[in-house]
Amino acid sequence: MNLIKPDKLKQGDKVAVVSLSWGGAGDEVINERYELAKKRLEEDFGLEVVAMPHALKGSEFVEKHPELRAKDWMDAFEDKSIKGIFSAIGGSDTIRLLPYINYEVIGKNPKIFMGYSDTTVNHFMMMKAGVQSYYGPSILMEFAENVAMHDFTFNHTHFALFETGEKEIVHAKAWTSEYLPWHIRENNQKSRTMITDDKGYEVLQGHGKVTGVLIGGCIEVMDWLRGTEIWPEQSAFENSILFLETSEEEPSPESLLYQMRALRAVGVLDVISGLYFAKPYNETHYEAYKKIILKVIQEEMGRNDLPIVYNGNFGHAAPMHPIPYGNQMTMDLDQRMITIEY
C-alpha cells in the first residue's frame, strides 16, 4: 500500500474541524467540549482552529445533511490555508457521505486528517484517494478530555502530528472507560477514574519480530464497508499488520466471531502478517474476545504462525495513540514491545 504522506503540522498552522457523522459539537452544553478542545489545540499544540461552516450546526441539522458534511470535508481539503483536518467525533452514519466524495480533491490536496470509530469510513475514503491519514483522537473525546488530556494521548498525538521517525509505544499504565454524561456541565470539571493496567501487551500467539504496513479500524464499521467502492484491494492487506478495535457499543463475542469470519471470508486474514487488537471498552468481554480471535485464527484457519498482540491503547478505552495508515509497525513479541514509524 503506497500512500501519499501529508506534510506534518507546524506551530501556527490552521486546522479545520468537521462533523462527518454525529453533529453534537454544535449542541448546547456539548458545545462547551468543542470550545475546550479548541482552546487546547491552540494553547497546547500551537495551532489555529476553525470550524467548517456546518460543523457546529447541531446534531439535528447535521443528521439531515450528509451532503453538507461531505462539502465541509471537501472544502477543507481544497482550502490551501488549512493544513490539517480533525473529526469532531464518530457516530453511526458516515457511510451516507459516500455519494458526495470527490477522491480527486483528496488526492490532489493531501493533508493530515485524524479521527476514529465511525471515522473509519473516512480513513477508507482516504486510502481510496491514495492519501495517508491517522486513526486517532477526536475533538469531543480525547482533545476535550475532562480536566486535562491524558499525558499518554497528548505525547503520542503531538509526536504523530509534528514529528517524524520511529517511536516506541510503551503500554499505558492506567486506563478508563468511565462515562460522565456530557449534558451535566459539572462533569467537565471531574477527572474520570483511572484503573491500573498490569497486563500490558498480551501476546496471544507468535514469537520474534514482525513488521508490516498498518491498515484497519473499528471492526464494526469495517463490517459495513465490505463490497462498497472504498473497500481496499486485496493487495492492500498483503503483508500488513491489521489493527482492530471494538466500539463503546461493546459488541457481543458472537458479533465479533461473525465479523472475524467475514474478514476471513474475503481473504483478509489469509494475507496479513500480524494482528494488533485494542483493549475493549470497559474491558467488557476482555477474555471472551481473546477466545474468539484464537478460535478463528487457530482452530478455523490453522494460522498458528500469525503473530497476535492484544490490549493495545488505540481504541475507545482511554488513553490512546494515533495509528498512521500505510506506515510500518514492528511488534517484538518476545519483548512485548511495539514501535511505529511516524
| pLDDT tens per residue across all 342 residues of the chain | 899 999 999 999 999 999 999 999 999 989 999 999 999 999 999 999 999 999 999 999 999 999 999 999 999 999 999 999 999 999 999 999 999 999 999 999 999 999 999 999 999 999 999 999 999 999 999 999 999 999 999 999 999 999 999 999 999 999 999 999 998 889 989 999 999 999 999 999 999 999 999 999 999 999 999 999 999 999 999 999 999 999 999 999 999 999 999 999 999 999 999 999 999 999 999 999 999 999 999 999 999 999 999 999 999 999 999 999 999 999 999 999 999 999
Domain at 174-341, CATH class:
alpha beta
Smallest CA-to-CA distance from 340 within 136, 88, 200 is with: 136
Q: Which of 230, 228, 262, 227 is nearest to 244 (CA)?
A: 262
Residues 6+ apart with CB under 8 A from 170: none
CA distances from 127 to 70, 103, 178, 284, 286 (A): 16, 10, 33, 31, 30
User: Nearest to residue 52, comparing CAs of 15, 93, 80, 24?
Assistant: 15
Q: 65: closest CA among 26, 103, 22, 25?
A: 22
Are 118 and 97 a contacting pair, CB within 8 Å? Answer: no
Asked if domains 14-165 and 174-341 share a fold, the reply is: no
Per DSSP, helices labelled H in 133-236 are 151-162, 219-225
pTM tops 0.85, yes or no: yes
| Integer Rg of the chain from CA | 19
Q: Yes or no: is domain 14-165 CATH 3.40.50.10740?
A: yes
What residue segments make up the domains of the chain, in order of their start?
Answer: 14-165, 174-341
For residue 262, give every residue at least 6 positions away whose Cβ sits within 8 Å of its Cβ, in sequence order, or none. Answer: 223, 226
Q: Do strands 82-87 and 14-18 pair parallel, antiparallel, or not at all (unpaired)? A: parallel
The Cα 106–Cα 86 span in angstroms is: 15
Name the nearest CA neighbour of 45 among 133, 146, 143. Answer: 143
What is the C-alpha separation between 326 and 281, in angstroms, rounded? 25
Instruction: Tell whether the torsion through CA atoms of 20, 24, 27 and 31 is positive or negative.
Output: negative
